[in-house]
Amino acid sequence: MRIRIGVLPSLVTLGNLVCGFGAICVTAKAHIYWGAAEPNELQGYRIFAISGSLILLAMVFDLLDGRIARMANLTSEFGAQLDSLCDMVTFGVAPAYIVFLEASSRTEIFRHPRYAWVCAALYAICAALRLARFNVETKPDEDSHLYFRGLPSPAAAGVIASLAIFDWRTKEEADWAAQVMPFASIVLGMLMVSRLRYVHLIGLLFRERKPFVYLAVLVFAVFTVIAFSQHFEYVLLVGFVGYALSGPISYPWTRARLRREAAEAAAEQAEPSSESEETDDSIF
Q: Note the pLDDT tens digit of each residue in 98-146.
A: 998 887 776 565 666 778 889 999 999 999 999 999 888 876 555 556 7
Question: What span, in angstroms and rounded, lies between the C-alpha atoms of 153 and 143?
Answer: 20
Answer yes or no: are the C-beta atoms of 48 and 100 closer than 8 Å. no
Gap between the terminal Cα atoms of the chain: 50
Instruction: Evaluate if residue 244 carries a pLDDT over 90.
Output: yes
Question: What is the gyration radius of the CA atoms in the chain, in angstroms?
Answer: 22
Query: Whole-prediction pTM value?
Result: 0.80
Read off the pLDDT of each residue in 239-260 and give the average, rounded to a whole number. Answer: 81
Distances (CA, A) of 249 to 178, 179, 196: 26, 25, 10
Query: What does the pLDDT look like over 190-243, one tens digit per residue?
Result: 999 998 988 877 766 666 666 666 667 667 777 676 666 667 788 888 889 999
Residues 6+ apart with CB under 8 A from 104: 110, 111, 112, 113, 116, 117
Share of the chain above pLDDT 70, in %: 70
Query: What does the pLDDT look like over 155-167, one tens digit per residue?
Result: 999 999 999 888 7
